[in-house]
Amino acid sequence: MQKIVVLTGAGNSAESGLGTFRAEGGLWAQHRIEDVATPEGFARDPKLVVDFYNARRAQAAEAEPNAGHLALAKLESEFAGDVIVITQNVDDLHEKAGSQKVMHMHGALKSALCAACAHRWPAPLVMAPGDSCPACNRPAARPDIVWFGEMPYDMDEIFRHLSEADIFISIGTSGNVYPAAGFVAEARSAGAETIEFNLEPSLVGNQFEDIRIGSASETLPVWVDEILQKSRS
Ligand code: OAD
């Protein structure tokens, strides 16, 4: 059975109205990474960090999947092989579009995590610093987001999928953040065909065999139809 492994980044959700990080005026131009996306920032000012993710959670709750998300869900439901989406995004637009096999390597806005006992539960729309954990009762709730300096989730399973990939595609990610930026090299060494989808080549763009320049909502549906047609013929 053929396996397609998909990596998505903020560019895949950009056309759903969720800002990217490194664009001019993007999230990291408005907030310092050290303040809102590190364990040290959370220890210094938990309210600032919780409010930052509350705002992003509220925005994501209103957002709708775009044609790029929908194309990936169609690929999963109609492709004869296996399709795995690994996302760096913390929104749930892949799920809203209908994708079932989604791995959130950088965590999820919809989830809360206990910093004391590692229990996870569905996050309320508005979290507050010092919320208590429903399992251990300690006031140690935090957003279930992987911050800089922390280990991304599900890495063993992700590397297993990459080692089994026949096709690896990467969509709307700038190639600044590892380990995700290294997935193309991993997939290539496993013999996968590799394609990047982006408005411009990413920092690791030269490692892909093919690049589709353009917005994900336009390039992805075309590619998905090509693959589905090929797999049926
Ligand atoms: P970036 O903001 O670094 O990059 C977004 C990429 O999407 C850029 O390469 C854009 O060219 C591309 N892009 C923008 N709009 C697009 C569109 N409509 N169609 C296709 N491509 C488009 O975001 P990420 O690479 O996702 O981590 O960032 C990676 C990680 O860094 C994030 O998960 C986050 C951030 O710090 C954490 O918070 C831990």
Q: Give the pLDDT confidence of 186-206 residue by residue, as tens digits.
A: 999 999 999 999 999 999 999
Predicted pLDDT of residue 99: 98
What confidence tens digit (pLDDT) does each residue in 64-76 have? 999 999 999 999 9
Q: What residues are labeled active site?
A: 106
Q: Residue 200: CB within 6 Å of ligand 1?
A: yes
Q: CB of 38 closer than 6 A to ligand 1?
A: no
What stretches in the chain show pLDDT beneath 70? none
Pocket test for ligand 1, best of 177, 184, 217 (most atoms within 8 A of CB): 177
Pairing of strands 3-8, 167-171: parallel
pTM > 0.85: yes
Distance 182 CA to ligand 1 centre (A): 15
User: How many residues would you count in the chain?
Assistant: 233
Residue 149's pLDDT is 95
With a 6 Å cutoff on the Cβ, whether 219 touches ligand 1 is: no
* DSSP E strands, the chain: 3-8, 82-87, 102-104, 107-114, 120-122, 141-145, 167-171, 193-198, 210-213
> What is the reported pLDDT for 233?
80
Residue 26 Cα: closest atom of ligand 1? 2
Q: Are 75 and 99 in contact (CB under 8 A)?
A: no
| Continuous segment of H or E residues that includes residue 67 | helix 67-78
